[in-house]
Structure formats: C-alpha cells, structure tokens
Amino acid sequence: MAKIFAVSARAVVARISDTPARALLRAGVSPNVVTAIGTLGVIAGSLVFAFTGNYLAGTIIVTLSAFTDLLDGAMARARGPAGKFGAFLDSTCDRIADGAVFGAVAWYLGYHDRPWGAAAAIVSLATGLVVSYAKARAEGLGFTANVGLIERAERLVLLGIGGLLSAFGITYGLDYALGVLAVLSIVTVFQRMATVYQQDRAAMAAAAAGKTES
C-alpha cells in the first residue's frame, strides 16, 4: 500500500513539475544547472539543521531543494536525448545530497546525546547507498533490481515526516522515523539481493536446459 501511494504521489508531483520544467528550458536553463543548484540547496539545508537544530527550517529547505531532483528529470524528458552525462551527474549528486542530509542528522543527534537516533541515521545512510548500488550493479550484470519497500523518494519523505514531528513538539519524532527508515532500508537491500539471486538461478537453469537440448 505504501509503495502504491509513493508511486501515485510521484506521478502527481511529476505532472506538477512539467510546467516549471518547460519554462526553465525555454529560458535556456540546463537540467544540469538545476541538478547542481538543488544539491547545493540540500547541503545548505543540512548545514542549517546541523548548526541550529531548527527542524522546520531544515526540513523545508531540504524538501524544496529535493524537488529539483524531480524538476531536472522532467526537464531532461522534455528536452529529449542529450548525452548520458546528465544522468551520471544526477545520480552522483543524489549520493552527495544523501550524505549531507543524513550526515548532518547523525552529527546533530550524536552531539545532543541521542545515540540511537544518530546510529539509525548512519545505518539509513549506509543502507540507502547500498540500495542504489545494488540496482546499478544488477543492471550492469544484465539483471533488474527495481524492487523493495523503500527508495530515495520514500527515504526523504520519512525523514521529512520525522523532522516535522520534532518541529511540532514530538522530541523523538525524528529518531523514531529514522529507526523505521533503517529497518525498511535493510529489508530493501535483502529484497534486491534475493531478486538478483533468483534471476541468476533462473538464467543458469535456462542455460543448462539449452545445453541439454543441444
């Protein structure tokens, strides 16, 4: 149910981002520029949170900046094929932004004697990187691993919910959200590993059957 909701939400946001995407293209703005600006915005929001502990400001800045991740994709689709560097830059900047966000959260919570929340942030960061890597590596080997309970969009949504809960008085709202996120991310890693394993077994069985028939 959560996955269906996330997919539907992405579709709605994608439609919303189409208009500004086309406007930016008409103004001569490159999707790569939007990617870079969005990443810098995420880093700035992360620093704001790390040094001020302002949950609401940090959440708003990161959320608005993360919107550019959808915006640059919409721009790339509207513009059409223009090389592969944009996709490479987008994926790389996503990893930089994730490191900034979860690193800032881990530092802040650890500094304020909330070790379990800090640990959950570190686990969420590490497993989030593995989730992305597993998909890329599977595709490089000729498999698919586009499965799992949680991907980058869901990670940011959960983190944002945790930040808002803390901003409105639930002291450990962020810690709880990070705990849920860490568990779901670990499950997603194993889901992707299991999916690739099954595809590999099926491919080997098919190859063996082909040799037997020949």
Could you give the maximum distance between any two Cα atoms of the chain, in Å? 70
Give the chain's domains with CATH numbers.
Answer: 2-213 (1.20.120.1760)
Helix (H) or strand (E) holding 2: helix 2-26
Q: Which residues are catalytic?
A: 94
176-195 confidence digits (pLDDT tens): 999 999 999 999 999 999 99
104-158 confidence digits (pLDDT tens): 999 999 999 999 999 999 999 999 999 999 999 999 999 998 888 888 878 888 8
Q: Cα–Cα distance between 77 and 65 in angstroms, integer?
A: 19
Q: Cα–Cα distance between 100 and 192 in angstroms, integer?
A: 25
Contacts of 45 (CB under 8 A, 6+ apart): 57, 58, 60, 61, 62, 65, 101
At 21, list the tokens.
């995407």
Q: Cα–Cα distance between 35 and 200 in angstroms, integer?
A: 35
Residues 179 and 116: beta-carbon distance below 8 Å: yes
Q: Cα–Cα distance between 74 and 43 in angstroms, integer?
A: 22
Query: Is this structure's pTM higher than 0.85?
Result: no
Nearest to 158 by CA among 179, 134, 189: 179
Q: Cα–Cα distance between 123 and 121 in angstroms, integer?
A: 5
Q: What is the pLDDT of residue 19?
A: 77
